[in-house]
Structure 1
Amino acid sequence: MSGESFRFIHASDFHLETPLGDLDALPAHLRDAMADAPRRAAAAVFEAALADNIDFLVLSGDLLSPASAGPHGMSLLLDYFDKLHAKKTPVFWSAGIADDPARWPDSVPLPPNVTMFPKNRAVAVPVERAGRTIAVVVGRSSDGRSILHVPSFRVDPTDEYTVAVGYGDADADALAEGRFDYWALGGQHNRSEIEGGAQSAAIYCGSPQGRSIEETGAHGYSTVDVDSDGTTRVHAIECDAFRYADVEVSADEIASVGGIRNLIGEKMSRLQHDAGGRHLIVGFDISITSGESLQSIGDVEELITWARREYGHGTPSSWTTRIKVRTPRSYPKSWQDEDTILGDFLRAAEKHRATEGRDLNLLPFTEEEPSLPSTTQSILAEVSSSERSELLGEASLLGVELLRGGKLKQPVA
Structure 2
Amino acid sequence: MPGESFRFIHASDFHLEAPLGDLDSIPSALRESMADAPRRAATAVFEAALVDNIDFLVLSGDLLSPASAGPHGMSLLLDYFEKLNAKKTPVFWAAGVADDPQRWPEAAPLPPNVTLFPKNRAIAVPVERAGRTICMVVGRSSEGRSTLHVPSYRVEPTDEYTVAIGYGASDADALAEGRFDYWALGGRHNRVQLDGGGEGAAVYCGSPQGRSLSEPGPHGYSVVDVDAEQTTRVRAVECDAFRYCYEEIDATEIAAVGSVRNLLGERISRLQHENGGRHLLIGWDISISSGDNLQAIGDTEELLNSLRRDFGAGTPAAWTASLVVRPPKQYPKSWNDEDTILGDFLRAAEKHGKADGRDLDLLPFSEEHEMINRTTAALLTDVSPSAREELLDQATLLGVELLRGGKPNLVS
Scaled by the length of structure 2, what TM-score is found? 0.96
Could you tell me how far 1:398 is from its partner in structure 2?
1.2
Provide the rounded CA distance (Å) in 1 between the counterparts of 2:149 and 2:139: 12
Aligned residue for 1:182? 182
Name the CA shift for 1:79/1:211 in 2 (closer, same or farther; >3 Å): same
Aligned residue for 2:391? 391
Secondary structure of the residue aligned to 2:195 is coil
Tell whether the 8 Å contact from 2:301 to 2:407 is kept in structure 1 after alignment. Answer: no
Tell whether the 8 Å contact from 1:179 to 1:199 is kept in structure 2 after alignment. Answer: no
Provide the rounded CA distance (Å) in 2 between the counterparts of 1:54 and 1:281: 33
Could you tell me how far 1:197 is from its partner in structure 2?
4.1
Provide the rounded CA distance (Å) in 2 between the counterparts of 1:376 and 1:220: 43
Alignment of structure 1 residues 11-410 onto 2, 5 Å: 11-197=11-197, 199-407=199-407
Tell whether the 8 Å contact from 2:23 to 2:321 is kept in structure 1 after alignment. Answer: yes
Name the CA shift for 1:112/1:372 in 2 (closer, same or farther; >3 Å): farther
Could you tell me how far 1:385 is from its partner in structure 2?
2.1
Name the CA shift for 1:297/1:53 in 2 (closer, same or farther; >3 Å): same
Tell whether the 8 Å contact from 1:165 to 1:183 is kept in structure 2 after alignment. Answer: yes
Structure 2 alignment gaps of length 5 or more? none
Secondary structure of the residue aligned to 1:194 is strand
Could you tell me how far 1:380 is from its partner in structure 2?
4.8
Could you tell me how far 1:198 is from its partner in structure 2?
5.7
Tell whether the 8 Å contact from 1:223 to 1:236 is kept in structure 2 after alignment. Answer: yes
Greater mean alpha carbon deviation, residues 355-364 or residues 286-295: 355-364
Greater mean alpha carbon deviation, residues 359-368 or residues 145-154: 359-368
Tell whether the 8 Å contact from 1:167 to 1:187 is kept in structure 2 after alignment. Answer: yes
- Superposed CA deviations along residues 263-298 of structure 1, whole A, max 9, x for unmatched, are 011100010011110000001111111111111111
Tell whether the 8 Å contact from 1:224 to 1:235 is kept in structure 2 after alignment. Answer: yes
**What is the letter of the counterpart of residue 304 of structure 2?**
I
Provide the rounded CA distance (Å) in 2 between the counterparts of 1:379 and 1:31: 38
Could you tell me how far 1:258 is from its partner in structure 2?
2.7
Provide the rounded CA distance (Å) in 2 between the counterparts of 1:21 and 1:72: 20
**What is the letter of the counterpart of residue 100 of structure 2?**
D
Name the CA shift for 1:401/1:163 in 2 (closer, same or farther; >3 Å): same
**What is the letter of the counterpart of residue 145 of structure 1?**
R
Provide the rounded CA distance (Å) in 2 between the counterparts of 1:116 and 1:368: 59
Could you tell me how far 1:149 is from its partner in structure 2?
0.5
Tell whether the 8 Å contact from 1:171 to 1:197 is kept in structure 2 after alignment. Answer: no
Tell whether the 8 Å contact from 1:46 to 1:80 is kept in structure 2 after alignment. Answer: yes
Provide the rounded CA distance (Å) in 1 between the counterparts of 2:90 and 2:367: 62
Could you tell me how far 1:82 is from its partner in structure 2?
0.7
Tell whether the 8 Å contact from 2:176 to 2:195 is kept in structure 1 after alignment. Answer: no
Provide the rounded CA distance (Å) in 1 between the counterparts of 2:258 and 2:346: 29
Secondary structure of the residue aligned to 2:352 is helix
Provide the rounded CA distance (Å) in 2 between the counterparts of 1:278 and 1:242: 6
Tell whether the 8 Å contact from 1:175 to 1:198 is kept in structure 2 after alignment. Answer: no
Name the CA shift for 1:102/1:366 in 2 (closer, same or farther; >3 Å): farther
- Superposed CA deviations along residues 113-140 of structure 1, whole A, max 9, x for unmatched, are 1111111110000001111111100001
Provide the rounded CA distance (Å) in 1 between the counterparts of 2:249 and 2:363: 35
- Identity across aligned pairs (percent)? 73
Name the CA shift for 1:317/1:380 in 2 (closer, same or farther; >3 Å): farther
Scaled by the length of structure 1, what TM-score is found? 0.96
Aligned residue for 1:411? none
Provide the rounded CA distance (Å) in 2 between the counterparts of 1:304 and 1:287: 16
- Superposed CA deviations along residues 161-198 of structure 1, whole A, max 9, x for unmatched, are 10000011111111011000000000000001113446
**What is the letter of the counterpart of residue 276 of structure 1?**
G
**What is the letter of the counterpart of residue 18 of structure 2?**
T
Could you tell me how far 1:377 is from its partner in structure 2?
4.1
Secondary structure of the residue aligned to 1:271 is helix
Tell whether the 8 Å contact from 1:180 to 1:199 is kept in structure 2 after alignment. Answer: no
Structure 1 alignment gaps of length 5 or more? 409-413
Name the CA shift for 1:172/1:349 in 2 (closer, same or farther; >3 Å): same
Could you tell me how far 1:199 is from its partner in structure 2?
2.6
Provide the rounded CA distance (Å) in 2 between the counterparts of 1:315 and 1:199: 44
Secondary structure of the residue aligned to 1:223 is strand
Q: Give RMSD over aligned pairs.
A: 1.3
Tell whether the 8 Å contact from 2:183 to 2:196 is kept in structure 1 after alignment. Answer: no
**What is the letter of the counterpart of residue 314 of structure 1?**
G
Tell whether the 8 Å contact from 1:63 to 1:99 is kept in structure 2 after alignment. Answer: yes
- Superposed CA deviations along residues 23-77 of structure 1, whole A, max 9, x for unmatched, are 1112111111110000100110000000102100000011111111111111111
Secondary structure of the residue aligned to 2:274 is helix
Tell whether the 8 Å contact from 2:184 to 2:202 is kept in structure 1 after alignment. Answer: yes
Provide the rounded CA distance (Å) in 2 between the counterparts of 1:197 and 1:328: 47
Provide the rounded CA distance (Å) in 1 between the counterparts of 2:290 and 2:348: 18
Provide the rounded CA distance (Å) in 1 between the counterparts of 2:373 and 2:13: 37
Query: How many residue pairs end up in the alignment?
Result: 408
- Superposed CA deviations along residues 59-118 of structure 1, whole A, max 9, x for unmatched, are 001111111111111111111111111111111111111111111112211111111111
Secondary structure of the residue aligned to 1:246 is strand
Provide the rounded CA distance (Å) in 1 between the counterparts of 2:213 and 2:369: 33
Tell whether the 8 Å contact from 1:182 to 1:198 is kept in structure 2 after alignment. Answer: no
Name the CA shift for 1:364/1:29 in 2 (closer, same or farther; >3 Å): farther
**What is the letter of the counterpart of residue 347 of structure 2?**
R
Tell whether the 8 Å contact from 1:176 to 1:199 is kept in structure 2 after alignment. Answer: no
